[in-house]
A and B are shown apart, each in its own frame.
Chain A
Amino acid sequence: DIQMTQSPSTLFASVGDRVTITCRASQSISYWLAWYQQKPGKAPKLLIYKASSLESGVSSRFSGSGSGTEFTLTISSLQPEDSATYYCQQYNSYSWTFGQGTKVEIK
């Protein structure tokens, strides 16, 4: 199984800050990496697919980068509504695994 490790586990930032979350894969997954946002009591929402492609309708504040084993999600200017938990997800050989999540809180 491919393991996904996110850092940090929790992040405190102010409105307007640039925020970066890292996701590392235990082996190369090329660009098969997605990012989701989950708010309390809600289902996850797809933000980014294929490492850097923005899902339709998602704010351009969100961007993704990386390939191989190291990936990042960046929020260019943090807004109050971005307070949530963010998960990375990898795909390999018809199997999917998620990172443990990064909780983003507003200072």
Chain B
Amino acid sequence: QVQLQESGPGLVKPSGTLSLTCAVSGGSISSSNWWSWVRQPPGKGLEWIGEIYHGGNTNYNPSLKSRISISVDKSKNQFSLKLSSVTAADTAVYYCASRPDDGVRMVFANWGQGTLVTVSS
């Protein structure tokens, strides 16, 4: 199974843009997976952010849609998240995950270890 590793700044200023990258190893980003982002505020539950397929199709959480952009870089075997106009409420551990495009499970089967992003001045 693929391994996923998040990277990016751990501190973002309010009103700025959060940018994270997820490196995919042990498999191709062009495989039959959707590539997803999920976040978890400290001490709280999980929130799905959005996902992308290698062809560029995306699905976004309606509550975040106006602020998020997810892209894929096939040459680097990675995908990225941008979240704009951040506030303290966006402080969370951000996970990347893969969702098999099997039409059967509709679940997040593999996860990265997560990276904490704090929004603070």
Contact = CB atoms under 8 A, between A and B. Distances in A.
A44 B106 contact: no
Interface residues of B, number: 21
Contacts of A1: 62-63
A36 B104 CA distance: 17
A50 B105 contact: yes
Contacts of B46: 36, 44, 87, 89, 98, 101
B61 interface: yes
A44 B48 contact: no
Interface stretch (B12-20, B21-29, B76-84, B111-119): B111-119
Contacts of B48: 95-98
Interface in A57-107: 87, 89, 91, 94-101
Interface residues of A, number: 24
B88 interface: no
A43 B107 contact: no
B11 interface: no
B63 A89 contact: no
A101 B63 CA distance: 20
A46 B108 CA distance: 7
A89 B107 contact: yes
A44 B45 contact: no
Nearest to B61: A95
B32 interface: no
A50 B100 CA distance: 14
Contact of B45 (A32, A34, A87): A87
Interface of B: 44-48, 59, 61-63, 95, 97, 104-109, 111-114
Interface of A: 1, 32, 34, 36, 42-46, 49-50, 53, 55, 87, 89, 91, 94-101
23 contacts: A32-B106, A34-B106, A43-B97, A43-B112, A44-B95, A45-B111, A46-B109, A50-B104, A50-B105, A55-B109, A87-B46, A89-B46, A89-B108, A95-B62, A96-B48, A96-B106, A97-B47, A98-B45, A98-B46, A98-B47, A98-B48, A99-B45, A101-B46
